[in-house]
Amino acid sequence: MTEDFQFTLQATDGMARRGQIDTPRGEIRTPAFMPVGTAGTVKALYPEQVRETGADILLGNTYHLMLRPGAERVARLGGLHDFMDWQRPILTDSGGFQVMSLSKLRKLNEDGVTFKSHIDGSAHTLTPERSIEIQKLLDSDIIMQLDECVALPAEYAELERAMELSIRWAERSKKAFDDAKGRALFGIVQGGDNSELRARSARGLIDIGFDGYSVGGLAVGEPQEVMFKVLEDITPHLPVEKPRYLMGVGKPDDLLGAVGRGIDMFDCVHPTRAGRHGHAYTRFGVINLKNARHKDDPRPLDETSPNPTARRFSRAYLHHLVRCEEILAAMILSQINLSYYQELMAGMRSAIEDTRFDDHCAAIREGWARGDL
């Protein structure tokens, strides 16, 4: 454990946990949602606007930044925090997942993965050691091991092979990390939807020892109930005193269910991507502002929202901006969606403190069910 990366469990309510991660660059209140800043930007927002939505930490992607502008270049320019002027914690993914989902030509073997850039076709290699090196060059605060994520549904043999490879890569990642001061290294639990493989993966990672444990191999096309079942299988095996991070999740309903099953950290492109596509997340559920029903509606999105932006512009105006594909639509809706996600996380944090998590989630879901009147 690096001494200045410290997770404190403050309260629990059933499996739901309220905690805090202290890092050299600031604290992370959990359960936490991490906006995705793939190419060194949370799209359409200034970093100070991202902070104003309530975010304590951002996610950066090794795959994208190693291809462009390059990890050594970011290091020469002072690291990712100075490069994008976000001085709070950054968690970086290790790149394997993006290679498999973005790069056409790739070859994976025991040593690592070689692939062609989806940008210019140039050849690249990611090994556990190189991925750790890149994340250190980016000056990441929370580093991920390199792993292999298998899309579901998948055969047992394939899930077992990838899970065992990921444990060997976890070992190599830990050696390369070499307890870098002030940084944390997370292992990633694999094993698909097979509870025996998931348990073996968790045990293997715990034996190696990590500062936190990510649940990988989910949000890859499986139904929500499969994801929840996997979480119920895994979280009892994970150490209570270390943070759990569910990668790539999710929609608001996923967040409530996963916090209730013991998850502390999340990341997803959904709120920002949905915002760019004209969808607004609110207490009433998601509102598609492309829909013509809004074109004469003078009401703001949500006049009782704590977010001034959601009280400021009429639905008619937002509908107009979305229809015109104006840049301001992406800016406004990205801010509104990230604010709503952070409002959800803050609400869950206080509900857990007051041991009223289940009632709180029921009330949130009632609001979504009532819909947009």
Rounded CA-CA distance 99/115 in Å is: 7
Residues of this chain, 164-193, that bind ligand 2YO according to CB under 6 A: 188
The answer to whether 341 and 252 are in contact (CB under 8 A) is yes
Among 17, 54, 71, 93, binds ligand 2YO (CB under 6 A): 93
Among 220, 256, 331, 348, binds ligand 2YO (CB under 6 A): 220
Rounded CA-CA distance 150/235 in Å is: 20
The answer to whether 333 and 49 are in contact (CB under 8 A) is no
Q: Pick left, alpha or beta for residue 48 (phi over 0 → left; psi -120 to 50 → alpha; otherwise beta).
A: alpha
Rounded CA-CA distance 174/144 in Å is: 10
Is 269 near ligand 2YO (CB under 6 A)?
A: yes
Q: What would the two tokens of residue 309 be?
A: 């932006």
Is 141 near ligand 2YO (CB under 6 A)?
A: no
Q: Report, in Å, the least distance between residue 8 CB and ligand 2YO.
A: 26
Active site residue 93: yes
Is 33 near ligand 2YO (CB under 6 A)?
A: no
Among 28, 90, 247, 361, binds ligand 2YO (CB under 6 A): 247
Phi and psi at residue 244, in whole multiples of 5°? -115, 135
Is 270 near ligand 2YO (CB under 6 A)?
A: yes
Is 97 near ligand 2YO (CB under 6 A)?
A: yes
Among 45, 159, 184, 268, binds ligand 2YO (CB under 6 A): 268
Active site residue 233: no
Instruction: Give the x-and-dash track for 311-350 against ligand 2YO (CB under 6 A).
Output: ----------------------------------------
Q: State how far the alpha carbon of 285 is from the alpha carbons of 204, 344, 359, in Å.
A: 40, 12, 18
Number of residues interacting with ligand 2YO: please give it, by CB under 6 A: 16
The answer to whether 58 and 91 are in contact (CB under 8 A) is yes
The answer to whether 47 and 86 are in contact (CB under 8 A) is yes
Residues acting as catalytic residues: 93, 267
Q: Which residues bind ligand 2YO (CB under 6 A)?
A: 93, 96-97, 147, 149, 188, 216-220, 247-248, 268-270
